[in-house]
Structure 1
Amino acid sequence: MKEYKLAESEKKFAELIWQNEPIGSGELVKLCEKEMNWKKSTTYTVLKKLCEKGIFQNKDAMVTSLITKDEYYAKQSVLFVEDTFGGSLPKFLTAFISGKKSANNRLKS
């Protein structure tokens, strides 16, 4: 399985692509300059990294996703449960429900 964990700046970059795809690489450079204050070299470096991770592709100067935003976040959810709760969905659900009950009780007080 490919590594899909992204740094915060990579997530913001990925969101820009998902919102605007298909997007020309030149247009992506301009968008990243405007939205993230990135230079052309930074955009291409991060794009190359995410292409190597199998999330996007840059073919004929057109950037498209290889996995959807929903697929990415679904994989992150699975990794979170595996890393934090030993892969146990019941343990995750128990912690989640307990957390929601505690939060609701604090709101009622």
Structure 2
Amino acid sequence: MNVSVRARSIKIVVDDENTVSDIIKRNIFTFFNFLFLGIALLMVAVQAWNQLTFLPIIIINTVIGIIQEIRAKQVLDKMNLLHANHTIVIRDGGKFPSRRKIWLKAI
């Protein structure tokens, strides 16, 4: 293949990591949490208040999962700073250092 043809077929992949809001959303909006919410609503509808004791356990479990994943993300972010690639990008005719990891992936 010609170099110019290959250069046009290169796809740039940027490594975007999960944000804290993504982590929270992913841990709250799960199938099982919706299932437990439905069960809790049914218990409230029939006024079975003593059967809602499972709800605090579900909430605590979700909070623990969020905290663990955020801590893991912080540790990984610190480790990525140690091994960050120092890439120079050309934008508007000038050379600038890039802080984001950029990989070139052929299509």
Question: When the two structures are superposed, what TM-score results if normalisation uses the length of structure 2?
Answer: 0.28
Question: When the two structures are superposed, what TM-score results if normalisation uses the length of structure 1?
Answer: 0.27
Q: Greater RCO between the two (CA within 8 Å, min separation 6)?
A: 2
Please tell me whether Structure 1 or Structure 2 has the larger radius of gyration of its CA atoms. Answer: 2
Which structure has greater helix proportion? 1
